[in-house]
Chain A
Amino acid sequence: MARFLLRRLGLAVPALWLVSVLIFALAEIVPGDVARTILGPYATPDQVASLRHQLGADRPLVVRYAAWLEGFATGSWGDSLVLHRPVRPFVFTHLANSLQLALVALALTIPVSLALGVIAGLHENGPVDHAISLVGLSLTAIPEFVSGVILLIVLGVQLKWFPIVAQPPPGVSVIGRLRYLILPAIPLMFVLFGYIARMARAGMVDVMGSGYIRTAVLKGLPAPYVISHHALRNALLPAITVIGSQIGWLVGGLVVVETLFTYPGLGKLIYDSAIAHDVPVLEATALLVATMFMLSNLAADAVMAFLQPRVRASG
């Protein structure tokens, strides 16, 4: 187990390093000069040059990359070029907001997809199975902003069930906040639904065809008992293990959904800082997202290795 995880970590670290190089290289090609951006158009060339020196922007590329990486690792993430505030505190506020939204989305997605997947699996190749598979396949293909804007117009504008902006006014209770987060969580659920349901269905079909289930049925146990006590545990294993690997997909979806519902999360922060060319914020958020994404994949691998010993052996 430890060897398996070390191997996986050994694959993740170079990938993360490549991502950090990519992010740094991209930020380097941003048109414009940091010092000029800060000082504005009326500063003299001398002032700009001295600030460049002060910021260390005149050092060689490799030195600056090393300094940046060290800064990120030790927690000094610099100041925003737009807001003129330290990056770290508000990155973490946005992160907390995104985690709340992601939690609501997962809390909706997991039970619904597992339940419908199991139902489809129990009716293998019947009309119910086909209907669930078709709906899952279609919902998965629809971009979040499309389902999001349709839901926003139907449930938010026409029926007025939900607010059309995701950020609650200050002083709203936890339950109240939930009402604001449900609408943006649904498009995220749609995209994840098809895959998880499909895994649950496949697991159920597999297990229901196996010998030990036939034995249980033949010895006279009632079908609901066989399903709940014998089949479910094994059938849901593959579905549960893929949920972890799906969390990364959420991050991409968050950029879109948070923009659509104007929610101050990490996704919107990445987008806004990219558009505004706010390099320190962009670098920090992008690297943070990459790190979290990598860790969640690693955690998913660990869970899978724990639940399915075969995976450990194959590495």
Chain B
Amino acid sequence: MASGPWGPTLPKLQDAAVEVTAPRSVGRPAIGRLARDPAFLVGAAIVLFWVFAAAEWRLVSPYDPFAVSASQPLTSPSRTHWLGTDDLGRDVFSRVLAGAAPVLAVAPTATALSLVGGTTMGLVAGFYRGLVDDVLMRLLDAVMSLPVIIPATLVLSLTGRSSINVILVVAVLFSPLVARTVRSAVLAEREREYVDAARMRGDRDLFIMFFEILPNVASPILVEGTVRVGYAVFTAGTLSFLQLGIQPPSPDWGLTVAVERAFVQIAPWAALAPAVALATLVIGLNLAAEGLRRTLAE
């Protein structure tokens, strides 16, 4: 059963993963349905906005997000500084735009790594069953026996705080979860005739796993990936807030909230703006993922 820390939307997801076992291609009809799903469109628009900000903040931000101005710290929002300035006189609006970049670099990279690792583990466990499967599943129980934040805090505070380490820690902690989804899809696939046919032909196991079965379990992996990105943003943002990831003077949202928390009573905008930005990003990601999941499950 789905235990807590791995998040509220998981159980439904697994149901979806089990349902979507018949080979199907993500073709035109699915894309057409997605294009008519208002929740998906709103979510995708929000995500695209932040991706644009992350890529092009140098062009669109009104000020240099790193430019310190000692003469105007913590000024309130005005026509010159739309969202005010922070404790070092930097423009909050520019920093919010630029702050999309670190999290949108860390979370998708960590997710991609966890998908690669998790898919490999899931394919091997589901295909061979037996001892390999048992060992992997026990390992999964051990990883899942702590809420993600606890092992991540231990590892990062003791081995070094940086974006690279956040990516690695999140990837390692997430890959068993991906493995579980992939494994359950593979268990259903491996009993189908085409797998027997491939065996008869004398295809090697690795070929069957990666070229015969993998394409047929692509859609649950895709859904898992989109949901995982949302959780990766959640986790990476939280680790930044705990100051275990990227360090000042980065405009990263989580880090900024942690630093500007000290000034909430005199300049609440400096902490509020990046918090609201992160909230919109995760909601956007979740709406898009939910739309995708529904479409693929239909």
Given contacts A14-B138, A274-B157, A277-B158, contact A141 B282 (CB under 8 A): yes
Name the one of A29, A144, A156 contacting B159, with C-beta atoms under 8 angstroms: A29
Among the listed stretches B24-32, B64-72, B148-156, B207-215, which one makes contact with chain A, having 4 or more residues with CB under 8 Å of it?
A: B148-156
Q: Which of A19, A22, A149, A158 has the most CB of B within 10 A?
A: A149
Among the stretches A74-82, A204-212, A286-294, the one at the interface with B is A286-294
- The 5 A-B residue pairs whose C-beta atoms are closest, nearest first, are A195-B8, A252-B147, A274-B157, A249-B4, A252-B149
Cα distance, A210 to B154, chains bound together (Å) = 49
The stretch that binds A, out of B87-95, B125-133, B268-276, is B268-276
Q: Which residues of A approach B to under 8 Å, CB–CB? A: 11-12, 14-16, 18-19, 22-23, 26-27, 29-30, 134, 136-138, 140-147, 149-150, 152-153, 156-158, 164, 191-192, 194-195, 198, 242, 245-249, 251-253, 255-256, 259-260, 270-271, 274-275, 277, 282, 286, 289-290, 293-294, 297, 304
In the assembled complex, the Cα of A246 lies from the Cα of B10 at a distance in Å of 12
Residue from B3, B4, B8, B278 within 8 A of A146 (CB atoms) = B278
A255 touches B286 (CB 8 A): no
A94 to B: closest C-beta gap in Å = 15
Q: Which residues of A contact B261 (CB under 8 A)?
A: 149, 260
B residues near A277, Cβ cutoff 8 Å: 157-158
Q: Which residues of chain B are near A297, meaning CB under 8 Å?
A: 3-4, 145
Q: Which residues of chain B from 1 to 50 have a CB within 8 Å of any chain A CB?
A: 1-5, 7-9, 12, 39
Q: Across the two chains, which residue of chain A brings its CB closest to B1?
A: A245
Indicate if the CB atoms of A149 and B272 lie closer than 8 Å: yes
Known contacts A14-B138, A270-B153, A274-B157, then 6 further A-B pairs from the complex at CB < 8 Å, ordered by chain A residue: A29-B159, A146-B257, A146-B275, A146-B282, A245-B1, A251-B150
**CB <8 Å contact, A198 and B268:** no
- Whether A150 pairs with B145 at a CB distance below 8 angstroms is no
Specify which chain A residues have a CB less than 8 angstroms from the CB of B39 in the assembled complex.
134
Partner of A142, one of B3, B154, B157, B282: B282
Which of chain B's residues 271-298 have a Cβ closer than 8 Å to chain A?
Answer: 271-272, 275-276, 278-279, 282-283, 285-287, 290
CB-based contact A142/B4 at 8 Å: no
Chosen A-B contacts, 7 in total, with CB atoms closer than 8 Å, are A18-B145, A29-B159, A143-B234, A146-B237, A149-B264, A150-B276, A245-B3
Q: Is B241 an interface residue (CB 8 A)?
A: yes
Closest CB in chain B relative to A292 CB, distance in Å: 11
User: Nearest Cβ distance between residue A262 and chain B, in whole angstroms?
Assistant: 9
Beta-carbon contact of A152 and B3 below 8 Å? no
- Residues in A whose Cβ lies below 8 Å from that of B264: 149, 152-153, 156-157, 164
Number of A-B pairs, beta carbon distance below 8 Å: 166
CA–CA, A269 and B283, complex, Å: 31
| Cross-chain contact of B272 among A27, A144, A153, A256 (Cβ < 8 A) | A153
The secondary structure that dominates the B interface is: helix
| B154/A158 in contact, CB under 8 A | no
- Knowing A245-B1, A274-B153, A275-B157, the reply to whether A290 touches B145 (Cβ < 8 A) is yes
Contact of A147 with B151 in the complex, beta carbons under 8 Å = no
Contact between B278 and A143, CB atoms less than 8 A apart:
yes
A164 touches B150 (CB 8 A): no
Q: Are B148 and A142 in contact (CB under 8 A)?
A: no
Partner of A274, one of B9, B12, B141, B154: B154
Per-residue CB contact flags for chain B residues 150-189 toward chain A (1 = under 8 Å, else 0) read 1101110111000000000000000000000000000000
For A145, the chain B residues whose CB sits under 8 A away are: 237-238, 241, 254, 257-258, 275
Are A15 and B142 also in contact (CB < 8 A) when A26-B155, A152-B264, A249-B5 are?
yes
In the complex the two chains form, is B153's CB within 8 Å of A255's CB? yes
Interface size class of B (residues with CB under 8 A): 35 or more
Q: Which B residue sits closest to A153, measured CB to CB?
A: B268
- Determine whether the beta carbon of A150 is less than 8 Å from that of B155: no
Chain A: CB-nearest residue to B227:
A141
User: Chain A residues with Cβ under 8 A from B265's Cβ?
Assistant: 157, 164
Checking A11, A140, A253, A260 against B141 with a beta-carbon cut-off of 8 angstroms, the contacting residue is A11
B4, A270: Cβ atoms under 8 Å?
A: no
A residues within 8 A CB of B234?
141-143
A151 to chain B, nearest CB (A): 10
Q: CA–CA, A134 to B283, complex, Å?
A: 10
A276 and B129 alpha carbons, distance in the complex (Å): 44
Contacting residue for B275 out of A23, A150, A195, CB 8 A: A150
Residue B230 interfacial (CB < 8 Å): yes
Chain B residues with CB under 8 A of A16: 145
CB-based contact A194/B238 at 8 Å? no
Chain A residues whose CB sits within 8 angstroms of the CB of B279 once the complex forms: 142, 146-147, 150
B146 on the interface (CB 8 Å rule)?
yes
Cα(A297)–Cα(B141), bound, Å:
12
Write the nearest CB–CB distance from A91 to chain B, whole angstroms.
15
Distance of A26 Cα from B158 Cα, bound (Å): 7
**Distance A8 CA – B121 CA, assembled complex (angstroms):** 24
Nearest CB in chain A to that of B145: its residue: A15
Q: A108 vs B58: C-alpha distance in the bound complex, in angstroms?
A: 44
Min CB distance B135 to A, Å, is: 11
Query: Which residue of chain A is the closest to B149 with respect to CB atoms?
Result: A252
* Most-contacted residue by chain B among A23, A141, A144, A286 (CB, 10 A): A141
Contact B283 A22 (CB under 8 A): no
Query: Is B113 part of the contact surface with A, judged by Cβ < 8 Å?
Result: no
Q: How far apart sit A17 and B3, CA to CA, in the bound complex (Å)?
A: 19
